[in-house]
Structure 1
Amino acid sequence: MSSTRPLRAAPSRRGVLSGLSLMTIMGVGGPAMSAFAQTARSPHSAQPSAVERHAARIEDLIARMTIDEKAGQLNLLADPFRWRPQNVNPLDGQGDPGRVTAMIRAGQVGSLFNGVGAAMGRTIQRVAVEESRLGIPLLFAADVIHGLKTVFPVPLAEAAAFNPELARRTAQAAALELAASGVHQTYAPMVDVARDQRWGRVVEGAGEDVTLNNLLAAARVRGFQGDEGLDHPDAILATAKHMAGYSAAIGGVEYNTTDMSEQTLRGVFLPPFKAAVDAGCLAIMSAFNDVNGVPASANHELLTEILRDDWNFQGFVLSDYTSEQELVAHGFAEDGRDATRLAIMAGVDVSMVSGLFLQHIPELVRSGAVPMARVDQAVRRVLRTKAALGLFDDPYRGTDPVREQAMVGSQAHYALAREAARESIVMLKNDGDLLPLSKAGQRIALIGPFADDVDNVFGPWTIWGDESRRVALDVGLREAMADPSLLTVTRGSGVEGALDGGIDAAVAAARAADVVVLAIGESQRMSGEAQSRTDIVVPEAQQQLAEAVAAVGKPVVVVLKNGRALALSGAVRNAQAILVTWFLGSETGRGIADILFGDFGPSGRLPVSFPRRSGQQPFYYDRKNTGRPADPNLEEEEYKARYRETPNTALYPFGHGLTYGRIEYGAVELSASELPLNGTLEVAVTVTNRGARAAEETVQLYVHDRVASLTQPGRLLKDFKAVLLQPGQSARVAFDLRPSQLTFINADLESVVEPGLFDVWVAPSAQGGPVATFRVTAPEGQTPVGDQR
């Protein structure tokens, strides 16, 4: 294979309002060029940052390092010293503590991951600082996706809260526990926009919408990294992953190839990474997949031209678990040496687990295949990040067992976990106001494999959760009921298989009850990495259980456990009430009980569209109209963009979620009929609660560009606000819409807004709602880029 690979020149990215990111519009984040300044010190401090103070030391270290020691700083291994569960990742082959100790002493390791614990962290760090030649501290990282000991709802569930501040708070709580447990970095947030619910890792992100992903990416980065600088003892380094296009795997198959237009890549899949960078994120993880034929972990355009040249990212890029080694299996690299060369020259700075950088970089530099300057650049990025984390000032930060015991699993964190759990629940349906249930005098049959289950409350990617404090659904219900003896618990079936006599027992329990709570759905092993599904339905054994229980004729409340949108059918779909409860973490049972019994009203909204059939995947709300749009009000319509068997609409669309109130929307009000390119348009609606109970309504603003130089989605979320309405209360909810929120990526890969007609909805979801129209106009003499049709 040739030692050089031609690179396409990066296109110009000039354009109207191209300098304004969504995060700037929303009032969060800051310029990427000041990322180290933002994260290394408090923004109010006049003192030099840790990076500035140690700049000379970093250059001196680089000058003194051998090429082997430089490669060692770029070598990330699994931590063999501190306990971690097995089967989290494939066999890493590096589990010998003696061997790794010798490597640390020899300067051959820069970072360790997935080891947690203050005391042993100090012991390991002492080897690096006091026994290696240069005394460079190790960086400790961990896969903490939604909590350490205290487990919060999975990220998809938390996205359903439509509350970036909640996401910031739970990330901050996780950071507090991590930072006290000898960990400096987490491999979160995952910011992949997920539009195919067959893909297992939908559960780790914020769903299908770009705006929601942008806001939550920034919020989670700020939560992990804090406001006082990365060297603050409560801060940890966030890692935005997986760059890029990973979630667009063809067929929803894990690790599969992705193939998309540059407009889709830049307009849908890259913005959340930009939002994370703008929020101060200093670590990016490359992806497993290839993008339009070039593997992401050897993709110069992604990792250098866009990330560095366009966004001015200042941190370091690490590969995902052996992703640079997998360039060989992709058929993109000839062997491990070639894979190393391609990855580091594309912009990967740190190699995870494979050991390829340690093995091949010295020879690649000696042969001239990789310039020493590129290796020095990667080492400098790593050392600057270690300095920003305060490791040059205090290499033993986070290694105090007394502080660890005080910070981990506090009551405040469990209270937050319960709050997050109930905010994440989405009520899809509540016919006849079956919910909330009564706490007294009502006989409740709790039926299903998750009725008293504790093994699936945490959700996937929970490694260190405190299993002794898991709260199952039956426990939460009993604690809330005036007479717990009125609750009967019957599993009825397994998750994917029948139980002997299970359905008969469930039917008997249903007959003896006033209402059935049916706890069904996916196990946590059915979501997450490498858990793609061909049919996103409730497993057959549970569906049969639901049909038998429904035939009894008692009111049924379905409580779904799931890590993706599901296609509901039969008795599940027809139940009088349906709650989507995802994987809610440590306080699962109490959070669900809070909603079931009405101590709190449901306020969650779907971050993913629930399809009518599995075969609609990939399915998402911001589809294009096509030249033959189907009328969703017609049952059958030939020669239109639809399936024979079902309308091309969601059963429950993105943004859908009911409350215990009854919310009515008035007409959309516009402050003007035109929006100048240098102006602002107020868009408002009056919402009224006609119900008998208070309700928190999430009011959503959507737009559609009617005519553009490239076809545009039927509608796009641009903003949302939550409003609390007492019974009979009305509120006027207003949004300021700016032209910069109306940009798209045009054929020249420019971010532009074009004059013309726009539809605007202020609605309870992505389907339906009142609509109005306005026109974007250009001031005299101003010609928007791209408007040359």
Structure 2
Amino acid sequence: MNAPLCYTGKKSRQRRLPMYKELDARVNAVMEKMTLKEKIGQLNQLRQPSTPEEIEKANELIRQGLVGSIIQASSAHAGNDKEKAVKVDLFNSYQKVAVEESVNHIPLIFGRDVIHGHHTVYPIPLASASAYNPELVEKCYGCIAEEAAADNIHWTFSPMVDLCHDPRWGRMVEGPGEDPYVGAQFARAAVKGFQGDDMSDGKHLAACAKHYLGYGFSEGGRDYFRTEISGYTLYNYVVPAFRAAVEAGVATVMSSFNDINGESISRSRYYLTDLLRDKLGFEGFVVSDWESIDQMVAQGNAEDSRECAQLSIHAGIDMDMVSLDYLIHLESLVEEGKVDVKDIDEACRRILRIKFARGLFDHPYCELKSVDRTEHLKLARDLAAESMILLKNEGNILPLKKNQTIALCGPFVRERQALFGTWTLDGNPALTPSFLEAMTAAVEGHGGKILTGGENMLLEDYNMKFYDSDVVVLALGEHQAVSGEARSLADISLTAPQVRMAQKAHESGKKVVGVIFCGRPVSLQNVEPYMDAILCAWHTGSEAAGAASDLLFGDRVPCGKTPATFLRTSQHVPLYYNVTKSGRTVNGYYGDHPQLNYVDSPAAPLYPFGYGLSYTTFSYSEVTADRCEISLEELKNGKTLTVSATVKNTGDCTGKEIAELYIRDVVATRMRPIREMKGFKKDEYRPGEEKVVSFSLGYKDLGYYLEDGSYLVEPGKFEVYIGENCLTKNKIDIVVR
């Protein structure tokens, strides 16, 4: 065996990512020795074996060079099922068979759904997006990668960057919300955090942007269902986050279950090759979702598993996740002339390149080691606090005082696991403080008192707690089991018992604070009237309880803003801010005109996109521009114009504000949204402090995509807004001539 090609001992020197020429030379040298069957083996991913018999069968396939990867999960719904913890030694044993007993000594790549945390659990992605802090997200995802890499995980099936307009869909929890610009910033930060500057350093992972493409548009919020997406909507809403992930250098992309306009993604060469590779420039490899290749039979888009394999390899799916269709059928399909061997060669080449780039040929084994989580937990608390959104604070009853007597009630008072959210396979809830513990610790030594009851207290038993307190804090929301994969809801409002509890607390005459732990922008219309203050705490992980307590007592100041519209009711779906304007006067879906929206319900959202309060207040000056006209030719040549506004802290405490930039293309060949986010800047302001916030607008900011994916900037007037949320009216007009 040629020593530079792979690792044959048990310890090795870490090395930097090789230059591409060297990497390609190493890939070529390996492939020259491989048979067609062995190349197909690299395209085959096994699920985690569960029994001794399955382990032996897996080892025999590995020994024959017929396995390229193992997913460290035993079911398609690992995010909701009780999944086994990672076993470093077991996966080292699989690797030993691959590296030391197979003919070509090619290491396996181990993948796992490390979505928003490993041992340290960070906020769900939807919550992380509400922090509007990509730099902090990148740091946190770097910590996630370090912990996972120490547990013999090479590759994560994250980030999910599916844009979603329907909060009934359970997997909205895993994505960045409803806005393509925010989605792109989150995608870029997550990829950079997971992969670092050198994913071969033993502390980072290969990332995977998923689910490509349009999965978040499943009709009715039902998981796995069909989608109807025009080219115009696809390029302007769905593609931007994937484009950003590709630009950030994402190693892999996962194809989605769904169809678009009647064609399964698993067979679409247009989406998987023409768009993803030729237009977006993706150079890594594509992995299918769990058995999604074979599921084309159930979809009625392929006759049998044999045709599934034929269609998917031609479309551009490089690795088959667990269905075995490639392993069983590709060799004979090549012999029959139905599959071009070049497609298999290219898929194998892409997979080997990522294995080399991840450092697996030089360092295939994982050495048992512990990771100091001190800094990780600190960052988890920072991100959790910045993710939480103050939705209401009538009479400024927040922050609370630590010498108050507080009635702490609700189904999430003692919860630990539920604070993690879905897709937390390796977090330990026993090490996570409950909300009760965090609140009790906060008042200790300050003269305060927490009143609560047993886990099975009846609502009537809580009444005395309400009356004996200075203020009532209700820990409400939704359990993590009702969000995530295959966890869609028809009704996204809080349950009837929680509504009754809020009503009883309100009837006590005490001030009521609602802390909402949730995995989607839940409908709060039924409880909002009974609450004086509302903190959306999301499912924010290991430090959720501590961060919420910090905010309630003013040790930190809320600064999160909504990454998606908060509807009044599920019946208002779809409701998102960046829509086109009606031919009759109405503020898009946010308008309340009874003839243009609903006659039986206010249609405006309870809380709009980009909304969030603070314990201080901020003012914005009028928007100014360094020039109000710019030519199309100047824009094409890289020239920009700069718009600015002065933001001032007009309150009594230091706080962070997110200044948001929106545009509107007033007249265009295609109807354009009434608001479209093009930037945000988050900064801290002392009382009385003011800062000038500036944004540059250029060619890439002022245009849009047509149905065929071509980009267009048109002359005409643009309205440019800088303000506190998407409803700001603080604007200046500019002209492209």
1:563 corresponds to which of 519, 531, 539 = 519
Distance 1:150 1:263 in 2: 40
Query: TM-score with structure 1 length normalisation?
Result: 0.87
Q: Does 1:146 align with 2:116?
A: yes
Q: Does 1:70 align with 2:34?
A: no
Partner residue, 2:367: 400
Displacement of 1:80 in angstroms is 2.4
Distance 1:392 1:260 in 2: 42
**Does the CA contact (< 8 Å) of 2:17 and 2:199 recur in 1?**
no
Q: Percent identity?
A: 39
1:525 corresponds to which of 477, 481, 495 = 481
1:748-788 deviation per Cα after TM superposition (whole angstroms, max 9, x unaligned): 532111111111111111113312211112xxxxxxxxxxx
Displacement of 1:681 in angstroms is 2.0
Displacement of 1:611 in angstroms is 1.2
Q: Does 1:435 align with 2:398?
A: yes
The residue type equivalent to 1:668 in the other structure is V
Distance 2:587 2:235 in 1: 30
The residue type equivalent to 2:565 in the other structure is S
Query: What pairs up with 1:494-573 in 2 under 5 angstroms?
Result: 502-573=458-529
Closer, same or farther: CA 439–769 of 1 in aligned 2, 3 Å: farther
Displacement of 1:287 in angstroms is 0.2
Distance 2:562 2:53 in 1: 42
Query: What pairs up with 1:314-325 in 2 under 5 angstroms?
Result: 314-325=283-294
3-state SS of 1:667 partner: coil
Distance 1:209 1:454 in 2: 30
3-state SS of 2:276 partner: helix
Displacement of 1:50 in angstroms is 5.9
Partner residue, 1:650: 605
Displacement of 1:614 in angstroms is 1.5
3-state SS of 1:586 partner: helix
**Does the CA contact (< 8 Å) of 2:589 and 2:604 recur in 1?**
no
Partner residue, 1:660: 615
1:155-204 deviation per Cα after TM superposition (whole angstroms, max 9, x unaligned): 11111100001110111001101111111100000011111111111110
Q: Does 1:292 align with 2:261?
A: yes
3-state SS of 1:221 partner: helix
The residue type equivalent to 1:176 in the other structure is E
1:450-474 deviation per Cα after TM superposition (whole angstroms, max 9, x unaligned): 0111120110001011233112111
**Does the CA contact (< 8 Å) of 1:50 and 1:390 recur in 2?**
no
1:419 corresponds to which of 361, 382, 386 = 382
Closer, same or farther: CA 95–255 of 1 in aligned 2, 3 Å: farther
Query: TM-score with structure 2 length normalisation?
Result: 0.93
Distance 1:769 1:242 in 2: 36
Distance 1:776 1:551 in 2: 57
The residue type equivalent to 2:391 in the other structure is L
Distance 2:530 2:698 in 1: 42
Distance 2:52 2:664 in 1: 53
Q: Does 1:477 align with 2:439?
A: yes
**Does the CA contact (< 8 Å) of 1:632 and 1:647 recur in 2?**
no
Partner residue, 1:584: 540
Displacement of 1:384 in angstroms is 1.1
Partner residue, 1:99: 57
The residue type equivalent to 1:575 in the other structure is M
**Does the CA contact (< 8 Å) of 1:51 and 1:384 recur in 2?**
no
1:20-57 deviation per Cα after TM superposition (whole angstroms, max 9, x unaligned): xxxxxxxxxxxxxxxxxxxxxxxxxx998265335344
**Does the CA contact (< 8 Å) of 2:659 and 2:682 recur in 1?**
yes
3-state SS of 2:515 partner: strand
The residue type equivalent to 1:143 in the other structure is D
Query: What pairs up with 1:212-291 in 2 under 5 angstroms?
Result: 212-227=182-197, 229-291=198-260
The residue type equivalent to 1:698 in the other structure is I
Distance 2:52 2:265 in 1: 25
**Does the CA contact (< 8 Å) of 1:153 and 1:583 recur in 2?**
yes
Partner residue, 1:488: 451
Partner residue, 1:368: 337
Q: Does 1:169 align with 2:139?
A: yes
The residue type equivalent to 1:168 in the other structure is E
The residue type equivalent to 1:345 in the other structure is H
**Does the CA contact (< 8 Å) of 2:616 and 2:654 recur in 1?**
yes
Displacement of 1:482 in angstroms is 3.2
Partner residue, 2:356: 387
**Does the CA contact (< 8 Å) of 1:187 and 1:239 recur in 2?**
yes
Closer, same or farther: CA 747–220 of 1 in aligned 2, 3 Å: closer
Aligned residues: 705
The residue type equivalent to 1:556 in the other structure is V
1:357 corresponds to which of 326, 336, 347 = 326
Q: Does 1:703 align with 2:670?
A: no
Closer, same or farther: CA 701–327 of 1 in aligned 2, 3 Å: same
Displacement of 1:374 in angstroms is 0.9
The residue type equivalent to 2:72 in the other structure is N
3-state SS of 1:740 partner: coil
Q: Does 1:201 align with 2:156?
A: no
Any stretches of 5+ residues in structure 1 without a counterpart? 1-45, 82-92, 493-498, 778-789
**Does the CA contact (< 8 Å) of 1:606 and 1:657 recur in 2?**
yes
Distance 1:766 1:260 in 2: 25
**Does the CA contact (< 8 Å) of 1:547 and 1:570 recur in 2?**
no
Displacement of 1:635 in angstroms is 9.4
Partner residue, 1:114: 72
3-state SS of 2:383 partner: helix
Closer, same or farther: CA 629–96 of 1 in aligned 2, 3 Å: farther
The residue type equivalent to 2:189 in the other structure is A
Closer, same or farther: CA 337–417 of 1 in aligned 2, 3 Å: same
**Does the CA contact (< 8 Å) of 1:78 and 1:94 recur in 2?**
no
The residue type equivalent to 1:421 in the other structure is A
**Does the CA contact (< 8 Å) of 2:506 and 2:530 recur in 1?**
no
3-state SS of 1:508 partner: helix
**Does the CA contact (< 8 Å) of 1:460 and 1:527 recur in 2?**
yes
420-429 or 762-771, which deviates more? 762-771
Partner residue, 1:772: 732
Instruction: State the 4+ residue runs in structure 1 displaced beyond 6 angstroms.
Output: 632-636
Distance 2:246 2:587 in 1: 41
**Does the CA contact (< 8 Å) of 1:547 and 1:571 recur in 2?**
yes
Distance 2:352 2:409 in 1: 55
Distance 2:536 2:357 in 1: 41
3-state SS of 2:398 partner: coil
2:649 corresponds to which of 689, 705, 716 = 689
Distance 2:671 2:153 in 1: 47
Displacement of 1:576 in angstroms is 0.8
Distance 1:122 1:302 in 2: 36
**Does the CA contact (< 8 Å) of 2:390 and 2:536 recur in 1?**
yes
Displacement of 1:688 in angstroms is 2.1
**Does the CA contact (< 8 Å) of 2:407 and 2:472 recur in 1?**
yes
Distance 1:738 1:105 in 2: 55
3-state SS of 1:197 partner: coil
Displacement of 1:61 in angstroms is 3.1
Distance 2:148 2:707 in 1: 45
Partner residue, 1:454: 416
Displacement of 1:571 in angstroms is 3.4
2:703 corresponds to which of 719, 725, 743 = 743
Partner residue, 2:346: 377
1:423-482 deviation per Cα after TM superposition (whole angstroms, max 9, x unaligned): 111001111111000112x00011100011112011000101123311211111111113
3-state SS of 1:542 partner: helix
Displacement of 1:509 in angstroms is 0.9
Displacement of 1:631 in angstroms is 5.8
Q: Does 1:187 align with 2:157?
A: yes
